């Protein structure tokens, strides 16, 4: 049985993952408007991955006898000054999500909920990959600065990303 404290924390986090989906979709819309088709592909896949993360929490709650409660989603940021700013915001967001996941694990440990701890382990490992991937993109964009040729190469590389089911 899942405690009320952990149930509420999971519901809050599920909705945070849906907000991540909205944020990345907004980033994709901005990049598409700027004609960065590869970056748009990458960010759209990232948005879908965040939606899938939210659904993992939804299903976990449902499988544990809790009806998932959908909360209001905040309007995401719409405008950025550059592709670098988009990806810096993405990295900052991933670091925030990592913190949220760690807080969930702390609650699961406190509540002695081994099922939740097992479930959250995947997300902890996933966040290491997320921060590393976006951090590398930020570093690469910084390296080419405002060189359009360099940004076009990064755009082409990011466009190779395929959506993957998790």
128: exposed, middle or buried (Cβ count in 10 Å: 0-12, 13-18, 19+): exposed
**Structural domain for 26, as ranges:** 4-158
pLDDT per position as a tens digit, 4-45: 999 999 999 999 999 999 999 999 999 999 999 999 999 999
pLDDT attached to residue 166: 45
Residue 81 lies in a domain: yes
Q: What is the CATH number of the domain that holds 123?
A: 1.20.1260.10
For residue 163, the model assigns a pLDDT of: 60
Number of domains in the chain: 1
Distance CA 82, CA 27 (A): 11
Any domain includes 139: yes
Going by the DSSP 8-state scheme, the letter that residue 111 receives in this structure is: T
Nearest to 161 by CA among 22, 44, 53, 82: 44
Tens digit of each residue's pLDDT (9 = 90 or more) over 69-127: 999 999 999 999 999 999 999 999 999 999 999 999 999 999 999 999 999 999 999 99
């Amino acid at each position: 049985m899942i405690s009320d404290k952990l149930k509420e924390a999971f519901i809050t986090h599920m909705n945070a993952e849906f907000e991540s989906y909205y944020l990345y979709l907004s980033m994709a819309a901005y990049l598409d408007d700027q004609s960065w088709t590869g970056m748009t592909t990458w960010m759209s896949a990232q948005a879908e991955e965040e939606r899938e993360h939210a659904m993992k929490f939804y299903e976990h709650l449902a499988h544990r006898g809790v009806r998932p409660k959908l909360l209001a989603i905040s309007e995401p940021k719409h405008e950025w000054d550059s592709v670098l700013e988009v990806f810096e915001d993405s990295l900052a967001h991933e670091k925030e999500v990592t913190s949220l996941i760690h807080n969930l694990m702390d609650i699961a440990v406190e509540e002695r909920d081994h099922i939740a701890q097992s479930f959250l382990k995947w997300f902890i490992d996933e966040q290491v990959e997320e921060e590393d991937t976006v951090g590398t993109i930020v570093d690469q964009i910084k390296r080419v600065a405002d060189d359009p040729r360099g940004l076009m190469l990064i755009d082409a590389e990011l466009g190779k990303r395929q959506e993957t089911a998790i």
